[in-house]
Amino acid sequence: MGTGKTTAEAWRSGDGVTPALELAGVRRAFGGVRAVDGVALKVAPGTVHGLIGPNGSGKTTVINLVSGLLCADEGRISVVGRATVGLPAHRIAALGVARTFQNIRLFPDLSARHNVLVGQHLHRHPSLAALLCGLPSAHAEERDADAKADALLERVGLGPRGGEKARNLSYGEQRRVEIARALAARPRVLLLDEPTAGMNPIEVQAVAAVIRQVAADGHAVLLVEHNVRLVMDICDHLTVLNFGRVIADGAPAAVLKEPDVVAAYLGTSAA
């Protein structure tokens, strides 16, 4: 860019930074339920963008639409400027989108390390001949992949637990393995669906630090989270949903004071 600004600074000053993720007019209904009803948002590279709202407001559906698990009925979704609506999930993943799930989805009988290795597959290209012949290059690549998986486990505070089967890890540890697996894909856009659910306060702090660091490394994070304190602490920007619609968008402290947001959370009608 040549201006000496960081990407996040350039974004704030409107200097033509392409959003890592952009949604415009996105809709998705299930029968008569308008789960996502005209959602627009932009996530800047190098930032943590919170997506909050009451239960059933459409947060997970947004993540499913972005990751390609669901297809939008209407609207535009783009990842670093590339339109993704209609692409299969693996193509969207190849564009740089990785996610965790609200309900943990690990392979319970695989070790933590092997679960993370699953996330690296986009970046591993050993030749088939090398693998079949057991060539040293294939073994070297395997060792390298193991070391990278262990480094990611270390990063989420699970360094010594790599050999443990996922089923033997605590709920909070399993969530952290999911984050490590998503990071293994080296995503431009990381989608986290309630990553701290079921964690104790020490684990929450550890995950908060990991999320901030991921953003500092230049990734864009879309964070669905019920813990308002955490959202205040680590989000650069907030979008609030209610009944599938955006009811507020902006800086966290200001957004959380808006009457519509307070009313949505307290379940009363807005003043």
Nearest position to Mg ion, beta carbon: 60
Q: Which stretch binds Mg ion (CB under 5 A): 14-22, 25-33, 42-50, 55-63?
A: 55-63
Read off the amino acid at residue 58. Answer: G
Contact 71, 256 (CB under 8 A): no
| From Mg ion, ligand ATP, none, interface partner of 75 (C-beta below 5 to 8 A by class) | none
- CB of residue 12 to Mg ion, shortest distance in Å: 29
Tokens 């990751």 belong to residue: 67
120 binds Mg ion (CB under 5 A): no
Q: Which of 218, 251, 204 is nearest to 50 (CA)?
A: 251
35 binds ligand ATP (CB under 6 A): yes
Q: From CA 59, how far away is CA 28, in angstroms rounded?
A: 12
Residue from the set 55, 90, 109, 136 that interacts with ligand ATP by CB under 6 A: 55
Residue 70 DSSP code? S
Q: Which stretch binds ligand ATP (CB under 6 A): 49-57, 90-98, 166-174, 175-183?
A: 49-57
Q: From CA 76, how far away is CA 63, in angstroms rounded?
A: 14
Window 81-110: contact mask with Mg ion (x via CB under 5 A): ---------------------x--------
Q: Which stretch binds ligand ATP (CB under 6 A): 28-36, 37-45, 177-185, 204-212?
A: 28-36
59 binds ligand ATP (CB under 6 A): yes
CA 109 to chain CA centroid, nearest Å: 24
- CB of residue 193 to Mg ion, shortest distance in Å: 6
Q: Tokens for 196, please give them.
A: 């701290």
Read off the amino acid at residue 74. Answer: E
Residue from the set 45, 53, 187, 252 that interacts with ligand ATP by CB under 6 A: 53
- Alpha-carbon torsion 172, 229, 12, 259, what sign? positive
Structure-derived torsion over alpha carbons of residues 4, 253, 265, 75, reported in degrees to the nearest 10: -30
61 binds ligand ATP (CB under 6 A): yes
Q: Which of 224, 172, 176, 222 is nearest to 201 (CA)?
A: 172
| From Mg ion, ligand ATP, none, interface partner of 55 (C-beta below 5 to 8 A by class) | ligand ATP
107 binds ligand ATP (CB under 6 A): no
Using CB under 6 A as the criterion, which residues of the chain lie in contact with ligand ATP when the complex forms? 30, 33, 35, 53, 55-61, 102
